[in-house]
Structures are given as structure tokens and as C-alpha cells.
Copies of this chain bind each other. A is one copy, B any other.
Amino acid sequence: MSKKLKLGLSPGSLVYVGRAVDDAPSQLRVIKYCEKTYDKKIVQNLDIDTTNPAIVIWLDVDGIHDHLTVEKAGEAFKIHPLALEDIMNTNQAAKIEFYDDPQVFVQIKMLHLKGRQRCSVDTELVSFVLGNNYLVSFQEKRETDIFLPIVDRLQASVGKTRKNNADYLLFALMDLIIDNYLEVVEAMGERIDQLENSIFDKSHKDPIPELYALKREFTLIRKHVWPVREVLQVILRGEADSLNDSTLPYFRDLLDHVDQVLDNITSYRELLTSLVDIHYSMISNRMNSVMKTLTIYSAVFMPLTFIAGIYGMNFDNMPELHQRNGYFIAWGVMITIVVGLLFFFRRRGWL
């Protein structure tokens, strides 16, 4: 289950590397459609005929922890062993490979918000194998099937997907995932806004740990999103037969969205850095004000206490003590000192 388990093994063996799955079985869903027809089946065994170019076949493998299911899909569609290995390794970054033309192998990360304040991020590895008229998708077994909206849309024949080939289906699924990136980033952006307000409200909680936690989270997201850019750029070179030229503008659109996500991440990271600095600026201003208070107190009371101490001395011969108004004169002197000091501090701008 962990990377370490793999170290002793021969390279190329199929081992699941990812979070624990509670024995939920993998599922194979086959959807066949063209503009007119639509057919959805949950199957146990794969016996698929891809020879009719007019029919698009979409096999969705839900659950990649079971190497038998993955191997089954791999055999049915002749997927390269290294691709199968990568499909089962959830540590993989987004990537694209052309193992055997016309097959295109794409991996990309789905992001899920998690945690109490929904500002940390969980990832799910999604893999695609695109052929001329088929698409095989692999997702981790989770509570939610992330492709459901597309399945529903296909069934209802809404949108352009039914009218287009498997490459448009790939675009539609990737569009789903990439649109979600923006949503995730914006949700975290809202948490930053809350933190910003709490900093300017001078609340007592130290915001630094959370600011850094958010920064790390953005670093992580950037790490997952950045290679998607490269994947799309490789797609846009248009070298694969299974990707039609008429679909490329749609992928260019995805590239625009990814760039926007990356831009927003950069902006939020800069904002977080600024918030850290502003927090320190406020801390240091408050410290300054504390020190000034202390200094003014000391500066005022030290001379007064000294004068009181003087006339508390027990020398036999202290002429002032025996003057009739000595005590009142002493008070006068002390009040003069206080007024003078306050005036002095106001002039230096400390009050």
C-alpha cells in the first residue's frame, strides 16, 4: 500500500500504491453511444468490439486498488504494462504518454476539499486511455463517482458530447476536473478573506500557523495543476491520430482555464505572504506601544518615588521637613515634574 512495499519488487509489476480502500469491489461500467443510440451496462467481464468506428465506447473502471480488474481492462484494450503500473500508483503526477499509436495515455489529478474548514485538499488519480473510437477511464473508489454529471448528460443527450467522437468525451471529462480546480482554489480564497479580516480585527489567535498551512496547501495544488499545463500543451501539438483537429480549440480553452487557475494560485500565495508581513507589522506596532507605555510610566513615577524617598529619610538635620508648607511645596514640585514630562513626551510624539 505504501511506496516501500514496492521497493523490493521487480520494476513493472502491478501494485496498488495509495490510500487504504475498505474492500469495496471495483466496478466496470461500459457505455456505448452514437448520436442516435445509447447503451449503459455494468459488466463483470470485458468482451468489447471496437471495430465499428461510428459507435463510441466508454469503459469506466471505478476502483484501481484491484489489480485483477485493471489487468482485465488492460488486456481488453491492449494497454502498455508501464501505463497499467502508473494507473495503480496514486503518487503519479499528471502526465501524457504515447505508448502505442493511436493510443494516448493521460493522467490527471482530481482535487477534493476536505477538513473541517474545507481548506485542505485531497487528490484522486484519474487516468485515461484514448483510442480512435473508445475511451477507458480509471478512477479511485470513493463515495462519489466524479463522472456522474457526464453520464447523466450523455443519457439525456444534452450538449455536444453525443454528436462527437471519443476525444470530445475526453475533453468533457477533463473540463469537469479542471473547472473543479478553480472552484477549489476559490473556496480556499474565501478562507483567506476570513483570515484577513480576523488579522485586521486584532483577534488574539496567532494566525501564522494557518497562513503557512494554506500556503503549503497552495504549493501542493500548484504541484498537481502545473503538469496539467504540459499535458495540454502536448495534446495541442496535435500529433496523435486519435485527437481530431476540430477538438483542439476546446483543449486550448482548457489550457486557458489552467493558466487562470495557476495565476490565481500565484496571487493567493502572494496575498498570504503579505498577510504574514502585515501580521508582523501589527505585532511590532503593538509591542512598540507596550514599550512606550512602560517607559512613560517609569519615567513619570521614578522621579516622584525618589522625591518621596528623600523626605522619608531620617536625618536629624533636614530643614525642609520643618518648614510649614514643606509638604505642599513637595507636592507642587512633583506635579510640576509630571506636567513637564508629559509635555516632553507629547513633543517627542510618544503620547
Contacts and interface: CB of A to CB of B under 8 A. Distances in A.
A295 B290 contact: yes
Interface stretch (A45-53, A111-119, A154-162, A235-243): A154-162
Contacts of A13: 159
B287 A291 contact: yes
Contact of A324 (B158, B249, B263, B317): B317
Nearest to A309: B308
Interface stretch (A34-42, A64-72, A120-128, A209-217): A209-217
A215 B311 contact: no
A343 interface: no
A324 B319 CA distance: 11
Given A82-B249, A280-B284, A325-B317, A161 B10 contact: yes
A8 interface: yes
Contacts of A91: 260
Interface stretch (A24-32, A129-137, A139-147, A171-179): A171-179
A314 interface: yes
A322 interface: yes
9 nearest interchain CB pairs?
A: A10-B159, A308-B309, A311-B313, A301-B302, A208-B281, A315-B327, A294-B295, A312-B312, A212-B274
A44 to B, nearest CB: 30
Main secondary structure of the interface of A (DSSP, over half): helix
Copies of this chain, tallied across the complex: 5
16 contacts: A13-B159, A86-B253, A92-B256, A97-B249, A212-B274, A290-B291, A290-B292, A293-B299, A298-B298, A298-B302, A315-B326, A315-B330, A316-B326, A317-B325, A317-B326, A317-B327
A264 to B, nearest CB: 9
Interface in A302-346: 302-306, 308-318, 320-327, 330
A290 B350 contact: yes
B321 A7 contact: no
Interface in A237-295: 249-250, 252-253, 256, 259-260, 263, 267, 270-271, 274, 276-278, 280-288, 290-295
A271 B186 contact: no
A80 B171 CA distance: 18
Contact of A315 (B7, B311, B317): B311
B314 A208 contact: no
Nearest to A99: B249
Contacts of A306: 301, 304-305, 308
A345 B75 CA distance: 70
Nearest to A349: B202
A135 to B, nearest CB: 16
Nearest to A254: B11
A342 B325 CA distance: 33
B11 A172 contact: yes
Contacts of A95: 256
A85 B257 CA distance: 13
Contacts of A263: 93, 223
Contacts of A347: none
A204 B349 contact: yes
A313 B330 contact: yes
